[in-house]
Structure 1
Amino acid sequence: MLSVEAQKPPKGKWTTPPFDPRFPNQNQTRNCYQNFLDYHRCVKAMNRRGKSTQPCEYYFRVYHSLCPISWVQRWNQQIQDGTFAGKI
């Protein structure tokens, strides 16, 4: 899990996430949630293989630009508590 400091966006490096054809509607809630799951799945898979988690940064940037901070904090707390409903 990344620390709070590591989760802050680097200065001048944020861009708007590109269009994702899986989520064509204006409401991007599902896009936010799916990228959150994809990030954690990616980190888990890369750590299991002993590789760098650098490729997972894309998902991290996307969900951080789409998701409200309160959701991310709540989901991270649920993951730590073992009560998160998503499959990671």
Structure 2
Amino acid sequence: MGIAEFPPNAAKPRHKATGPELCYVLEGEVYVTIEGQQTQVFHAGDTFQLPANVVHLTSAGPSGATVLAAWVHTPGKAFNVPAR
């Protein structure tokens, strides 16, 4: 588990995680685009799940965002992998 803090309008580059992620938005709003799907917007109090090995992009809204995330991770294996 961990907390990700996004500055206003910050974006994490396209990537995929080797395990599933379960996220809870503590503050602000988060835009999530899974490759091939429309962008979804999540606000404080919302949860969302990202399946393993799915390329996605996450970004914060104009006020930034704070997200609590739980990951399933295999020790010794990279978790976040840049998209190709």
Q: TM-score range by the shorter chain?
A: under 0.3
Q: Could you tell me the TM-score, scaled by structure 1's length?
A: 0.26
Q: Which has the higher contact order (CA 8 A, sep 6+)?
A: 2
Which of the two has higher C-alpha Rg? 1
User: Which of the two has greater helix per residue?
Assistant: 1
